[in-house]
Amino acid sequence: MSATTTITATADARIPLRGHLRHTGALMRRNLLWIRQDPESMADAVLFPIVFTLLFVYVFGGSIGQSLGGGQDAYVQYVVPGMLAMMGMTMAQGVGTGFNQDFNTGVMDRFRSLPIGRGSVLFAKIAVELLRMLFATAVLMVVALLVGFDITNWGGLLASVALSVVFGSALMWVFLTLGVVMKNAQSVQAMGFLVLMPLQFGSSIFAPTQSMPGWLQNFTDYNPLSALADAARGLMIGGPVAHDLWLTLGWSVVLTAVMAPIAIHKFRTKT
């Protein structure tokens, strides 16, 4: 371990919890002010739920809805909870890209020269991205209502949003790690595409898995996005919940427990 790393770790250890919370709050304010100065950074949170919802409902809704036994209206009820599951995945990819850009522009060098907790930088980034995720979720639900989604269980909707936030925050640690170790933002995006595309389309987000080949169904059974989407459906429109709920929470705990220490360590030791 280098002398710089030892000094950094010692400095972090001397900062009390109240100091870490104060630093996190200050960095959150900095990130929110940056968004206010650059409104275009919210384009993905606004456009993604609109474009994807309209695309899948009006392009695939008729054919897939028939297999569900109810046409396009049935597909709206099916796909909207799945789209809710996608919010965490999409926002998580964005946090890695933004984090990498902060490194390449020298912002992180400035942060690491200040007497602040290194973990505070990461926690503040995640907190602001979760706020962006909640904003995107609100946009999604407005569009969903306009295309005919029927909210019959508001408590289930809030529980689904909370579950998506928990899983999204866990996934963000993966992309924060990528943001530290990859050389540029394009590399983070490319890696995210390679990882998330199979998870996204090899799941029950957009279509039922019964018609998929057996080997792919086995993959979807353990795909965390399938578990999150099915849990959200159960909570919002009725159906089995317990298995998918615990599977999603299990994935969230494992991802956080494994990736959070790695992300913080890589951030502290990056030269």
pLDDT tens-digit map of 176-203: 888 888 888 888 888 888 888 888 888 8
What's the token pair of residue 151? 């909210």
pLDDT for residue 122 is more than 50 = yes
For 225-229, the CB contacts below 8 A with 24+ separation are: 225/85, 225/86, 225/89, 225/199, 225/200, 227/251, 228/85, 228/88, 228/163, 228/164, 228/167, 229/81, 229/82, 229/84, 229/85, 229/203, 229/204, 229/205
pLDDT at 14: 64
Mean pLDDT of 256-268: 89
**CA neighbor of 132 nearest in space, from 35, 67, 209, 66:** 35
Calculate the CA 2 to chain-centre distance: 33
User: What tens digit of pLDDT does each residue of 136-159 get?
Assistant: 999 999 999 999 998 888 999 999
